[in-house]
Structure 1
Amino acid sequence: MVNKIKNSADGLALQVTKPARAADLVTENTEGAASRWAPVRVYSFHEYLLVVDRECVSDEDTAALVQALSEYTDSIFQAMDSVVQIAGNGYQVQLPPARDAGLEKDDRASAEPAPGILVIHPYLSEAESVDEITVGIVDLRRDQFE
């Protein structure tokens, strides 16, 4: 899912309605109203953000994901606690360390879900919407989850 990074009251954010649902970062009741928003931590790397559900992803699994993304990108910057919140008719995630990753307002970014995580990266093109690094992190998380 591709959206533009935007300003919000709390800084930069990305609309992530479908990916957040797919990653179980939001739980909705039978009427479609959110009944749980995951407390998340956003890790920043060169051109990548890793959004992790702090309640559902173990510290060990988180460390493995962070290590892998750090090795893939030869970088690691800061990590900050954040929130998934209602925005319009959907959900957005606040991205406090986005600028560390080189992402700015109006940049197009893709959010790829896996259980308890989102991998956010710059959108390149339809043909390259999911890159090798993102696939590697998503596959690692799916393996951890099984």
Structure 2
Amino acid sequence: MANQIKESGNGLALQVTKPARAAGLVEETENGDVERRADVRVFAFDDLLLIADTDRVDADEMAELATSAARDTSSVHRAMDTSIQIAGNGYQVQLPPAADAGFRVGDQPACTAAPNMLVLAMRDTERLASDLETIRHEQLVEANSGD
């Protein structure tokens, strides 16, 4: 079952422990100590949030992902920087622009993980989340091939 968006601090947040680990947004030692928690940029589109590691997704890659999301949703709202935080027995991400994208407390967005990014999708944007995951994998293939 997907986690619910909750109030945390002065805004909305989502518990993302497993997806954050899968995306490499957090790194832990073998005994569970935290080695790294990513600083991330949260982009808001109608019913979709794109969360990208600011250190590991370069500006051109971020622009390609954000442009694809904006084109597909015919929307773009704010983008804000935040970080992956320790919360309870895991990790959460603050979602400052979530309300702009239509997310509310209690929503259970689908969470898609790709290397160094997460996509939170509601309603009709789950296909777009999968497309963004594919684009991210293609970016890494291109980067590793030297193109």
Q: What TM-score do you get using the length of structure 1 for normalisation?
A: 0.92
Query: Given that residues 110 and 126 in structure 2 are in contact (C-alpha distance below 8 angstroms), is that contact kept between their aligned partners in structure 1?
Result: no
Alpha-carbon distance in structure 1 between the residues aligned to 2:139 and 2:23: 14
Structure number with higher strand proportion: 1
Choose which of 135, 138, 142 in structure 2 pairs with 1:140.
135
1:32-71 maps to which residues of 2 (within 5 A)?
Answer: 32-71=32-71
Residue by residue, what CA displacement relative to the aligned partner does 1:25-82 show, whole Å, maximum 9, x if unpaired?
A: 0010121121110000000000000001000001000000000000110000000001
- Structure with bigger helix share is 2
Aligned pairs for 1:76-87 within 5 A: 76-87=76-87
Q: 1:93-118 CA distances to partner (integer Å, 9 max, x unpaired)? A: 00000000000111111211001100
1:10 Cα shift?
3.8
Matches within 5 A, 1:1-146: 2-122=2-122, 131-146=126-141
Structure 1's unaligned 5+ residue stretches are: none
Counterparts of 1:57 and 1:10, CA distance in 2: 27
Question: Number of residue pairs matched?
Answer: 141
Note if contact 1:10-1:94 (Cα within 8 Å) is conserved in structure 2: no
Asked whether the 8 Å contact 1:5–1:105 carries over to 2, the reply is: yes
Q: Which runs of 4+ in 1 moved over 6 A?
A: none
TM-score by length of 2: 0.92
